[in-house]
Structure 1
Amino acid sequence: MLQRYKNILVPVDGSYEAELAFKKAIDVAKRNGNDTAIHLVHVVDTRAFQNISSFDTAMVEQVTDTAKKTMAGYVEDAKKDGLTNIDYAVEYGAPKVVIAKDLPKEKDIDLIMIGATGLNAVERLLIGSVTEYVTRVADCDVLVVRTDLENKPALSKAQRKAQQKKD
C-alpha cells in the first residue's frame, strides 16, 4: 500500500534548496491526487529584529513583502504545472517551532518537505539547523530534499555560480 499525503508543508526562504523542495513537492502532490494540498510558508524570524535598537516596522514589512512576492511566484508556477490546491502564508516567530510544531497541528500536515541546510558545521553548532530540528521534533513525516529533480546531488553555491556564468 502506498502512503498518500493530503497536506504537504513546504517552508521557503528564497534559497536554492527550498526551491528544490518546492519543485519536488509539486511532483509528490500530483502523484497523490487532486485533493492533496501544498501549504507554502515563509517564517520571518522576529528574534533577528530584537537586537536592533531602533526597531523599525518598515524592515519587517519589507521582508514580508519580498516573501509574499516570492511565494506568489511559486503559486503561479505550481498552477502552470497543473496544481490547483496550493496556498501560502507568512508567519512570524521562531522558524523551528512554527515549522515543526505550530503549522503541522494547525493545518493537519502529514508531510513536511524541507530543503537541506546550507549551514556549515560551525554555524549549525552556534545557531542550530532548522532542518535538523524539524526532522527531530515534527510528529509527521519529514522529507529532506538534498537532490535536484533528476535525483542528482544539488549543486553547491559555487557550482551554481559557475553554471550561471556559462549560461
Structure 2
Amino acid sequence: MLQTYQNILVPVDGSYEAELAFKKAVSVAKRNGENSSIHLVHVVDTRAFQNISSFDTAMVEEVTATAKKTIEGYIKEAKESGIKNVDYSIEYGAPKVVIAKDLPQEKDIDLIMIGATGLNAVERVLVGSVTEYVTRNSKCDVLVVRTDLENKPALSKEQRAAQEND
C-alpha cells in the first residue's frame, strides 16, 4: 500500500526554495486525492525585532501584509490546480518551533514540505537552519525540497537572474 499524506504543511517565506516546496506540495496533494489539504504558514520571527531600539508595530504589520499577499497568490495557484482544501496562517514567534512542533500538533500534519536553505556554513553555525531543525525535531515526515517539479536541481540565484535577463 502506498503512503498517502492528508495534511501537508508548507512553510513559505517568499523565497525561491519555498516556492519550489509549495509547487511540489500541490503535486503531492493532487496525487493523494481530494481529501488532501495544504496548510501554508509564514512565521514572523519576532526575535528579529527585539534588537531594534525604535520598535514599531508598523514594521510587524508591513511584514505581515507582505506575507499575506504572497500567500494569497499561492492559494490562488493551488485552487487553480484543483486543490480544494488549502488554508494558511501567519504565526509569530520562533520559526523552528512553530514549524517543527506547534503547527504539526495543532493541525494534525503528517508531512512537512520545506525548501532547502541557502545559508552558507558560517551562517548555519551562527543562526542555525530552520530546515535542519525541522528535520531533526519534527514528529511527522519531512521532505526537504531541493529540486523543481522535473527533479532538476534548483537554480542558483545567479542562474535565476541570468534566466530573467534573457
- TM-score clears 0.5: yes
CA distance in 2 between counterparts of 1:78 and 1:115 reads 17
- Cross-structure match for 1:94: 94
Query: SS in structure 2 opposite 1:74?
Result: helix
Q: Give the unaligned 5+ runs of structure 2.
A: none
Structure 1 position 26 matched with structure 2 position 26:
yes
- Cross-structure match for 1:52: 52
CA distance in 1 between counterparts of 2:88 and 2:30 reads 18
- Cross-structure match for 1:6: 6
* Equivalent residue letter for 1:51: N
Q: For residues 97-127 of structure 1, give each alpha carbon's deviation from its aligned partner in whole angstroms, at most 9, with x where no partner exists.
A: 0000000000000000000001001000100
CA distance in 1 between counterparts of 2:123 and 2:157 reads 17
- Cross-structure match for 2:74: 74
- Cross-structure match for 1:146: 146
Q: In angstroms, what is the RMSD of aligned CA positions?
A: 0.4
CA distance in 2 between counterparts of 1:35 and 1:148 reads 24
Give how far 1:12 is off: 0.1
CA distance in 1 between counterparts of 2:149 and 2:7 reads 21
With the length of structure 2 as denominator, give the TM-score of the two structures: 0.99
With the length of structure 1 as denominator, give the TM-score of the two structures: 0.99
Q: Give the unaligned 5+ runs of structure 1.
A: none
Query: SS in structure 2 opposite 1:54?
Result: coil
* Equivalent residue letter for 2:69: K
CA distance in 2 between counterparts of 1:110 and 1:52 reads 37
CA distance in 1 between counterparts of 2:4 and 2:22 reads 18
Percentage of pairs with the same residue? 80
- Cross-structure match for 1:133: 133
- Cross-structure match for 2:165: 165
* Equivalent residue letter for 1:161: A
Give how far 1:54 is off: 1.1
* Equivalent residue letter for 1:103: L
Moved over 2 A (4+): none
Give the aligned length.
Answer: 166
